[in-house]
Amino acid sequence: MRILITFARAYPWQTLIMVVAILVSGVVEGFGLTALLPLVALAGAEDIMGSKGAAVKRVVNEVLYSLGLSPSIGLLLSIVLGGIVLKSCLLMFANRRVGYMVARITTDLRLQLLRALLATRWEYFVGQRIGKLASAFGNEAGRASTAFLGGARMAALAVQAVVYAGVALLVSWKATLVALSGGVLILFTLRRLVQRARDAGKRQTQATKALVSRLTDSFLSIKPLKSMAREYLADAVLVRETTRLNRALKKQIFAKEALRGFQEPVLTAFVLLGLYVLLVWWQMPIADLLVLTVLLGRVVNQLGKIQLQYQEMGTSESAYWSLQQTIEGAEAEKETTLGSKVPSLIRGIRLDRVTFAYGDRTVLRDASLAFPGGSFTAIVGPSGVGKTTVVDLVIGLLRPQKGEVWIDDLPLTEIDIKQWRRMIGYVPQEILLLHDTVFINVTLGDRDLTEQDVEQALRAAGAWDFVAAMPQGMLSTVGERGSGLSGGQRQRIAIARALVHDPKLLILDEATTALDPATEAAICATLRDLRGALTILAISHQTAILGAADRAYRLQDGVATLVADHSDVSWPAGGGQDDTSVTTHTAPRKVG
């Protein structure tokens, strides 16, 4: 029941409205059912009515007389029908509220997970499996709302059972208590089937998470697998995980259907036994027996439904707790933002005696680098020496264990990191294009950007000529992952995407590595044309980029060495406050 309490605390007013509607519907139906006793009396069976039934009949008649109504068969039938109709309307309203809450819970959980993940530290985020997060976002959020739905239905059934039992107590408290005790005993006897379904639900959550993770990894690597005719390796892994999930689902279905199958005959036998006891042993009056049979039959039936809904809730709630664990883990790793100052990036960027290590592996050791404003700086070196680490430190995704990163004369720790990142255009090594238009791929759906902004960015990236030649220009679709474009064209679209927000710093992370020499040279020429309009930082393990850069560093064994400097710069690589001005051989201009 902890999950119901959790949801009630999260949505107090919605829960209150739902509970009140369910409660009122139960009371209305209960009052309607009490009209059965005076109806029986009017039908000529008053002489076989017990004292309790007669008492209830008198109370109902008094209520009707006080309202200026005279009991009649038509009126009493109308009251019974009206109670059922009104109850159905109230339940429909309550169920609609439940449906709205289920949809909202699913959406809120997904947004909570998404925002928690986007706010985490970079080291934490890159350590997560995409498939696991996809399973949490899709499957677990949906099943969590299913758990709430089962709990809400269980609460509604419980309210109705209480109302039926209350009316039955007025007719015969002994028979009602015996019926309730027997019903509870039956539910207790069948509890193991509920527990088996709960355990199967936990295994389903784990198996689904593993399967989606494997599926995501396999699809991301499907091209090399098919190229080497080794897709059977992915097939074997996915078959194993799918079989594991299937076993969990089979156990869950068995427990659910077994409970449903055992409940009906056992509860029916119990009701028939109760009728025998009431008729033969207790010799209950026929009129009271008829009404009591209706009431207790409903009580026992509701108890059975409550157990089924409890099983449904137990089957799905493991997904909610798994999702909550993911959310809480992400929130505990939230990225801290200490600074509040807004940078300008006029003089440049410096890494001052920076040391950074991944665990026991040190990639930068007292490294000092300077990237003057308006210049084009390249960092070269073999894979794994820390080039991307330098970029991540400049962006603020990572923080050095020693030393400091400076933007002009402000340490990065004092800067509003969000404001700083909005000044950056980033081009990754692996270009991800959406199966959409060039316009959408450049703007990424930003409604503040116009076609004129996109055209300027495409021109600055050297992409306008081939985009304008496409059938629908910038409104042409690029294909799945940009399959309709060449490698160099995809690269230029990515550069335009980075430039469209008019950044002050353009970062290219191994962005030319997969290109042929001619295309790489053309991209480097485009980058040289952007010098002065913005500061450019490019990293590569190839040396072709050196010819285009104003200055270049080589990283090796955690040490940065300046290997080329064609810029007119008088600015130290280290230090904090410095009044020396910085000049380069290019004059600033606006991109595009």
Angstrom distance (rounded) from CA 503 to CA 508: 13
Give the single-character DSSP code of 414: G
Whether residues 304 and 344 fall in one domain: no
Of 528, 585, 540, 560, nearest in space to 372 by CA: 585
Low-confidence ranges of the chain (pLDDT < 70): 1, 22-23, 25-61, 63-65, 67, 69, 71-77, 79-80, 83, 87, 220, 223-225, 278-279, 282-291, 482, 511-516, 519, 542-544, 566-592
Is residue 454 domain-resident?
Answer: no
**Which of 72, 89, 86, 93 has its CA nearest to residue 29?**
86
- Token pair listed for 369: 């680098």
Quick check: is 524 in a domain? no
- Strand, coil or helix: 348: strand
Task: Give the separation between CA 402 and CA 85, rounded to whole angstroms.
Answer: 74
302 and 219 within one domain: yes
Query: Helix 73-118 to helix 12-34 angle, to the nearest 10 degrees?
Result: 160
Q: pLDDT tens digit string along 158-169?
A: 877 887 787 777
Shared domain check, 69 and 136: yes
Distance CA 487, CA 430 (A): 11
For the chain, give the number of residues: 592
Contact predicate 302/150, CB 8 Å: no
The Cα 200–Cα 178 span in angstroms is: 34
Tokens of 23: 């409660």
Let me know whether 407 and 389 are in one domain.
yes
Which pLDDT score, from 0 to 100, does residue 394 have? 92
Distance between CA atoms of residues 500 and 153, nearest Å: 52
Comparing CA positions, the residue from 581, 548, 550, 553 lying closest to residue 567 is: 550
- One domain, residues 369 and 326: no
319 and 399 assigned to the same domain: no
With the C-alpha atoms ordered 490, 491, 492, 493, is the resulting torsion angle positive or negative? Answer: positive
Please indicate, yes or no, whether residues 226 and 323 belong to a single structural domain of this protein.
yes
310's enclosing H/E stretch is helix 286-332
SS3 state at 382: coil
In angstroms, how far is the first alpha carbon of the chain from the final one? 61
Residue 448 covered by a domain: no
Structure tokens of 48? 């076989």
- Given the structure tokens 């400076």, which residue do they identify? 406
Structure tokens at 493: 């679209």
* Alpha carbon distance 61, 126 (integer Å): 73
Question: How distant is the alpha carbon of residue 60 from its chain centre?
Answer: 53
Amino acid at 146: T
Give Cα separations from 45 to 56, 67, 71, 80, 532 (angstroms): 15, 25, 15, 18, 102
Q: Please report whether residue 445 resides in a domain.
A: no
Assess if residue 62 is contained within a domain: yes
The CA distance from 587 to 168, in Å, is 91
Tell me the C-alpha to C-alpha distance, in Å, between residue 94 and each of 2, 87, 137, 415, 570: 21, 10, 27, 51, 73
Residue ending a domain, among 332, 365, 392, is 332
Same domain, 383 and 281: no
Q: How many domains does the chain have?
A: 2
Is 484 a member of any domain? no
CA-based angle 313:317:322, to the nearest 5? 170
Would you say residue 315 lies in a domain?
yes
Per-residue b or e along 365-391, where b marks 16 or more CB atoms closer than 10 Å to that residue's CB: bebbbbbbbbbbbbbbbeeebbbbbbb
Helix, strand, coil content of the chain in percent (nearest 5) = 65, 10, 25
d(CA 353, CA 574): 7
- CATH number for the domain spanning 389: value is 3.40.50.300
Pairwise CA distance, residues 569 & 371, whole Å: 10
Residues 216 and 354 in one domain: no
**What is the model's pLDDT at position 592?**
42
With respect to residue 161, please indicate whether it lies within any of the assigned structural domains. yes
Residue 39 phi/psi, 5-degree rounding, is -65, -40
Residue type, 208: T
Three-class SS of residue 584?
coil
Total Cβ atoms within 10 A of residue 434: 14
Which of 326, 62, 363, 92 shows the shortest CA–CA distance to 212? 326
**Residue 580's Cα: distance from chain center in Å?**
50
Asked whether residue 98 falls in the same domain as residue 113, the answer is yes
pTM of the entire predicted model? 0.71
Q: Is 173 helix (H, G, I), strand (E, B) or coil?
A: helix
Q: DSSP letter string over 177-215? A: HHHHHHHHHHHHHTHHHHHHHHHHHHHHHHHHHHHHHHH
Residues 254 and 206 in one domain: yes
Shared domain check, 347 and 315: no
Q: Which residues pair with 539 in a beta bridge?
A: 379, 509
Return contacts of 514-522, CB within 8 angstroms, 24+ apart: 514/429, 514/487, 515/487, 515/488, 515/491, 516/487, 516/488, 517/544, 519/486, 519/487, 519/488, 519/491, 520/544, 520/545, 522/462, 522/488
Given this model, what pLDDT does residue 293 score? 73
Provide the domain limits for residue 392: 336-423+544-583+588-592
CA distances from 323 to 125, 173, 228, 230, 291 (A): 16, 46, 37, 34, 48
Q: Which tokens go with 504?
A: 């002050």
- Write the CATH number for 255: 1.20.1560.10
Beta bridge partners of 380: 540, 554
63 phi and psi angles, rounded to 5 deg? -65, -45
Q: At which of 332, 360, 395 does a domain end?
A: 332
Per the listing, tokens 């991301």 go with 220
* CA–CA distance, 24 with 30 (Å, rounded to integer): 10
> In sequence order, what are the residues at sequence separation of 6 or more whose Cβ sits closer than 8 angstroms to the Cβ of residue 67?
none
Assigned token pair, 581: 């001005």
Q: Which of 278, 312, 332 is the last residue before a domain boundary?
A: 332
